Amino acid sequence: MNPLKELRQRFRAALEPLVEDLEDLLEMVRPSQDPRFGDYQANCAMPLGKRLGKAPRELADQIVARLEVDDMCEPPEIAGPGFINLKLRSDWLAARLQDAVKDTRLGVAPVETTRTYVVDYSSPNVAKPMHVGHIRSTVIGDALCRILRFAGHRVISDNHLGDWGTQFGMIIYGYKHFRDESAFAAAPVAELCRLYQLVSQLVDYHETRRCLGDLERRVTEREEAAVAQEAEPLPVAGAERKRAAKRLRGLKAQVAEAEADLSQARKKLARVEQSPALNQLATEHPEIAQAVLRETARLHADDPENLALWHQFLPQCCEDIQRLYDRLDVCFDYAHGESFYQQRLSHVVQDFLDRGLACLSDGAVCVFVEGFETPMLIRKSDGAYLYATTDLATIAYRMETFHPDAILYVVDHRQAEHFEKLFAAVRLWGHTDVELQHIRFGTVLDQKGKPFKTRAGDTVGLEGLLDEAVRKAYGVVSANDDAKPGGAELDEAQRRHIAQVVGHAAIKYADLSQNRTSNYVFNFDKMVALEGNTATYMQYSYARTQSIFAKGDVDVDRLRDADAAISLEHPAERALGRELLQFPEAIDECLLDYRPNLLTGYLFQLARRFSEFYQQCKVLQAETESVRTSRLILCGLTGRVIRRGLDLLGIQVVDKM
RNA sequence: GCGCCCAUAGCUCAGCCGGAUAGAGCAGCGGACUUCUAAUCCGCAGGUCGCAGGUUCGAAUCCUGCUGGGCGUGCCA
């Protein structure tokens, strides 16, 4: 049972005779923020008073008089200007807890109307090794899928792989010119990866070489502009003076930016030029960028040789990525990459043209969308298609194949405008009865606050990151085990297993516990810190629930069926019990705006309540047998809610830590 | 230039479709280990919620302006 939902139902009955249109009033029934005001509070008397022109306190009296909550709550109290404070009765709490104990869904009722969701997330470029930038989409997307499924929805997870772009032209070119036959035979994935990076570096080298003059010129121009601005006499008046100062600051920042770009470009060049081998390759392949594009174009034109290579390489590339998904415990129903939609692209463009939704401009096919100055391009002037084209084709396919009620895109916030245009174009195209959501999240930043760059080289590989987290977790697990008063309890294999679970969880949780819309500063130490609001704290709490059963030799399942009474005499018991009953509320809240951090927040609160309870209430040595049983049941339910909650986040638990 | 996002404790952040005295974690200080696992708990200290107006019985939350930062901005994804 969802207590909040139940209370709102009761308020609905009480308010209906008083007022029409009461949905917004019902939303004002909510959990109290301060325990002194009870468990829930209704704030609807004040706005209602305004609406009806009556005194809010008087209305609160009327509402309370009609409110039938005797079975559920202590007598409601009216406070301040007209707050209605509600405290749940302990016997009601205890009865609902018993319901939850017997319920495999822990009191979370399936949604009344099942919807079909397509969730599009992770979407790595299969030619490149996955790096830290892929974490957020993968982890958040996976968590949302799990939560939606648990809530009772039909969920189709789809990994929109980047498997058809220039990166394959690079690999193909590299394979044809640079491959090391024996390395390829021994470890094809690693060799393909090397080839990609080599070609990418050479392309980059020539591109940078070509732009160097522009970069130098830009620095000079900006310096001159800044000097000129500085030479201007400052206006005397306040606002004008401020504006001038701001302009100067802006110009100086631009100079710094240009200088940084230039110095980075020079470093890039030096890296190649200082290596005789690379330098030679660069000299031998001056037109490599164009050659790569030609290989890509041949692939797209169904050239038999390149297509065969693509068919050979694709599974090998995916193998590498799959290993990471296995480690992360992430899986997809479908992995329809860009290549899957190739045949449809020309039809999409033609359809837009035929219906007059798109037009030609400078040789490119454009969809103009209201509210945006710049159009969405769906075909380049050279005839090539763009990712917007693929996105449109993908939506059409999903609509006819899955008939979804909603499609969620778990993608970096920097693509917000792209999605706004895309969604608008889809509406023009006629798909109006589907919820399209860009589940945006903040960029992963480095320590300096700069976005991780995919090309710049210095990205942290995802695999190494996971290894490091596991390594750190191993250290902490061992230290904790060694420090146990009765001596260490875990053997080497157990420690390693626990370190795997704890390390991976640390990385996922660090991401999920943050509001997805804010930027995510990548901080290794913070990620794997094993204290505070972390997965480890939750996992530890879970392990403690299990260790009580082990120590007391208690059969949890038998206890569950025993129908024993639950007592909530101690404040810590009551607080824990109420928290446990709010699991359904946490799920609801979380799905309202697709924000997993609301679920982590709930779990953290629950784990804290449990720690308090654990500290203050002896379980195995409880005063009486019935209190002991009651507390054991609370421990059992706590363990199940934590385990289930973490499972919904894609995080596992262990019985001993 | 235009558009979008952000600004809350020393640090990292939560709270943001209006509710009572703004919350956590980390760091700091002081307590609690003959432990049902101290990876814990209790207490203290820490704040002009960027600034200025406005709407309201009531604003961190909504509106306007400003300041500071980030991102995006027709043929990359």
Contact A404, A116 (CB under 8 A): yes
Q: Which nt has its C1' nearest the CA of A36?
A: B20
Say yes or no: Cβ of A87 under 7 A from any atom of strand B. Answer: no
A156-169 as b/e: b if 16+ CB within 10 A: bbbbbbbbbbbbbb
What does the angle CA A594 – CA A154 – CA A339 come to, to the nearest 5 degrees? 85
**What parts of chain A have a pLDDT lower than 70?**
234-243, 447-449, 451-459
Which among A6, A56, A46, A57 has a CA at the least distance from the CA of A24? Answer: A46
> How distant is C1' of B34 from CA of A154, in Å?
55
Task: Given CATH 3.40.1410.10, say whether it is the number of domain A116-163+327-445.
Answer: no
Which option is the CATH number for A3-88: 2.30.330.10, 3.30.1360.70, 3.30.56.10, 3.50.50.60? 3.30.1360.70
Q: Which nt has its C1' nearest the CA of A609?
A: B41
- Nucleotide B68, nearest residue via CA and C1': A246
Give residues 199-218 of chain A lying near strand B (Cβ < 7 A).
none
pLDDT digits 0-9 by tens, A416-432: 999 999 999 999 999 99
Which among A462, A538, A546, A542 has a CA at the least distance from the CA of A505? Answer: A538
Say yes or no: Cβ of A544 under 7 A from any atom of strand B. Answer: yes
Which option is the CATH number for A462-648: 3.20.20.80, 1.10.10.60, 1.10.4080.10, 1.10.730.10? 1.10.730.10
Confidence (pLDDT) at A236: 63
| The one-letter amino acid at A204 | D
Which among A591, A118, A96, A73 has a CA at the least distance from the CA of A401? Answer: A118
What is the helix (H) or strand (E) element at residue A379, kind and residue range? strand A376-379
- Name residue A440's beta-bridge partners: A411
For the beta carbon of residue A331, count every other beta carbon within 10 angstroms.
13
Give A419-486 as a 3 state SS string. HHHHHHHHHHHCCCCCEEEEEEECCEECCCCCECCCCCCCCCEHHHHHHHHHHHHHHHHHHHHHCCCC
Cα–Cα distance between A400 and A395 in angstroms, integer? Answer: 9
User: Alpha-carbon Rg of chain A, whole angstroms?
Assistant: 30
Sequence-separated (6 or more) residues with CB below 8 Å from residue A68: A10, A13, A14
3-state secondary structure of A489: coil
Strand B, nucleotides covered by protein (CB < 7 Å): 1-6, 12-21, 23-26, 33-42, 57-58, 67-77
pTM value? 0.94
Token readout for A65 is 């008089």
Say yes or no: Cβ of A612 under 7 A from any atom of strand B. Answer: yes
3-state secondary structure of A41: strand
Give A227-291 as a 3 state SS string. HHHHHCCCCCCHHHHHHHHHHHHHHHHHHHHHHHHHHHHHHHHHHHHCCHHHHHHHHHCCCHHHH
Token readout for A250 is 């802006």
Confidence (pLDDT) at A165: 86
How much is the ipTM here?
0.95
> How distant is C1' of B20 from CA of A566, in Å?
33
Which DSSP string corresponds to A138-176? HHHHHHHHHHHHHHT-EEEEE---B-SSHHHHHHHHHHH
Q: Tokens 């400052």 — which residue? A: A234
For the beta carbon of residue A247, count every other beta carbon within 10 angstroms.
14
Say yes or no: Cβ of A445 under 7 A from any atom of strand B. Answer: no
Strands A154-158 and A359-361 come out as unpaired
Contact A49, A83 (CB under 8 A): no
